[in-house]
């Protein structure tokens, strides 16, 4: 199918699912997933695949940057301990639990660890979908966690893939080096690009051209991701750090007209990108199911249900309050739960 035809169909699916979401009072991503599955029944669309490079290099930097810019840095500082624990230790524990379960169900250890690393981190897009259903503080915690846990997951994922193909070896020094490079390099790249972006926006502001100012803003997340990837650091963390810094400096850099244009552009862009991702996931999910035979399909459904239950149970056990010897109930958060 021609690219233009696919874009028109994708846009129509977004429009219909969005309209139905308002009428039925259902979260739009649920209907977008269903729309993707429905589109999979069209023979010409079944072979459509989303190239991994498009997701990593186009969708991911933009989505992460806007989520980090709109996340409260004050709230992150308030609950920093809980965010760090869930963004690092919880990801590793979840990946291990899923890998162990998948191995019990018949998957070799290498692919099992790859699966665990892929599903362990929470997703910023999914958090934004549930933002209206949860208390604001819980949303902030989940959003902040989803912005940093990809760095941990990528380290686990790279180790799992490397060990599976025989190019990596497990040792404390090696793992520590990968973690330091992922987080340290990501932090440094994000801070450097943010500083350069601030200097550039100050000079562009003097020209009084809102289009050039917004073009500069668009280039910032891609630049942060690119710089980090050049040093094999976490591009995800680089974009997040850059976005958090720009969220504090941004209001003093742009004019009012530029800010209005920025909010309008990014709101539309986020809706289109998020919606397109959910539809493409539904489309590829149906293609994946069609490729399975009867026995393999049953095994896949069992594994999906088991992994989903494991994800919920591990998070519940990790984040649930627990009693200390002094009798005080605590959890992974730095202060009392808001419900």
162-187, pLDDT tens digit by residue? 766 665 566 667 667 777 887 888 88
| pLDDT score for 167 | 55
The larger pLDDT score, comparing residue 151 to residue 258, is at: 258
- Other residues' Cβ atoms within 10 Å of the Cβ of residue 206: 7
What mean pLDDT value characterizes the chain?
79
Task: Kindly report the backbone phi and psi dihedral angles of residue 330, in degrees, each rounded to the nearest multiple of 5, phi listed first.
Answer: -135, 165
Q: Are 273 and 62 a contacting pair, CB within 8 Å?
A: yes
Q: What is the mean pLDDT of residues 47-54?
A: 70
Query: Per mean pLDDT, which of 12-21, 84-93, 175-184, 268-277 is the most reliable?
Result: 12-21
264, pLDDT greater than 50: yes
Q: Are 279 and 50 a contacting pair, CB within 8 Å?
A: no
223, pLDDT greater than 50: yes
293, pLDDT greater than 80: no
| pLDDT score for 193 | 94
- Which of 83-92, 226-235, 268-277, 286-295 is predicted least confidently? 286-295
| pLDDT score for 136 | 67
28, pLDDT greater than 50: yes
3-state secondary structure of 93: helix
| pLDDT score for 297 | 79
Q: pLDDT by residue (tens digit) across 112-159?
A: 888 888 888 877 666 666 666 666 667 777 777 777 777 677 777 777
Q: Which residue has the tokens 């249900």?
A: 305
| pLDDT score for 2 | 66
Query: What are the residues whose beta carbons fall under 8 Å from the beta carbon of 306, sequence distance 6 or more?
Result: 101, 105
Q: What is the mean pLDDT of residues 195-210?
A: 87
Residue of 254, 225, 267 whose CA lies nearest to 242: 225
- Which of 75-79, 106-110, 139-143, 276-280 is predicted least confidently? 139-143
Q: What is the mean pLDDT of residues 312-337?
A: 59
- Other residues' Cβ atoms within 10 Å of the Cβ of residue 27: 14
1, pLDDT greater than 80: no
Q: Are 46 and 224 a contacting pair, CB within 8 Å?
A: no
Task: State the chain's maximal CA–CA distance in angstroms.
Answer: 67
- Which of 153-157, 201-205, 211-215, 270-274 is predicted least confidently? 153-157
Task: Kindly report the backbone phi and psi dihedral angles of residue 315, in degrees, each rounded to the nearest multiple of 5, phi listed first.
Answer: -65, -40
- Which of 93-107, 254-268, 311-325 is predicted least confidently? 311-325
| pLDDT score for 332 | 52
Dihedral sign for Cα atoms in the order 48, 52, 144, 242: negative
139 is written with which tokens?
Answer: 């949303």
The larger pLDDT score, comparing residue 165 to residue 77, is at: 77
| pLDDT score for 328 | 44
Break the chain down into helix, strand, coil percent, rounded to 5.
80, 0, 20
| pLDDT score for 170 | 61
196, pLDDT greater than 90: yes
| pLDDT score for 171 | 65
3-state secondary structure of 149: helix
| pLDDT score for 257 | 78
120 is written with which tokens?
Answer: 């362990």
- Other residues' Cβ atoms within 10 Å of the Cβ of residue 297: 14
């Amino acid at each position: 199918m021609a690219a233009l035809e696919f874009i028109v169909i994708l846009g129509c699916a977004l429009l219909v699912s969005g309209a139905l979401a308002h009428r039925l009072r259902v979260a739009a991503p649920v209907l977008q997933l269903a729309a993707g599955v429905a589109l999979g029944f069209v023979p010409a669309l079944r072979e459509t695949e989303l190239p991994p490079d498009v997701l990593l290099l186009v969708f991911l930097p933009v989505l992460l940057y806007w989520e980090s810019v709109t996340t409260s840095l004050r709230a992150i500082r308030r609950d920093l301990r809980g965010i760090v624990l869930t963004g690092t230790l919880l990801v590793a524990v979840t990946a291990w639990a899923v890998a162990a379960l998948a191995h019990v169900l018949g998957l070799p250890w290498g692919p099992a660890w790859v699966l665990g690393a892929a599903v362990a981190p929470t997703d910023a897009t999914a958090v934004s979908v549930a933002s209206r259903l949860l208390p604001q503080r819980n949303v902030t915690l989940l959003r902040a966690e989803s912005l940093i846990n990809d760095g941990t997951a990528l380290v686990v994922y790279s180790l799992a893939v490397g060990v599976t193909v025989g190019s990596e070896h497990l040792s404390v020094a090696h793992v520590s080096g990968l973690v330091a490079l992922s987080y340290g390099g990501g932090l440094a790249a994000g801070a450097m690009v943010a500083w350069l972006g601030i200097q550039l926006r100050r000079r562009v502001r003097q020209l009084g051209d809102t289009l050039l100012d917004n073009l500069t803003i668009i280039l910032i997340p891609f630049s942060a991701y690119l710089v980090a990837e050049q040093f094999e650091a976490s591009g995800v963390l680089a974009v997040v750090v850059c976005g958090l810094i720009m969220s504090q400096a941004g209001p003093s850099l742009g004019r009012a007209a530029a800010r209005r244009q920025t909010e309008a552009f990014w709101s539309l862009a986020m809706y289109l990108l998020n919606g397109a991702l959910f539809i493409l996931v539904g489309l590829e999910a149906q293609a994946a199911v069609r490729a399975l035979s009867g026995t393999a399909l049953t095994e896949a459904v069992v594994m999906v249900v088991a992994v989903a239950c494991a994800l919920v149970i591990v998070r519940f056990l990790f984040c649930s309050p627990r009693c200390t010897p002094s009798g005080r109930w605590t959890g992974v958060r730095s202060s009392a739960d808001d419900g």
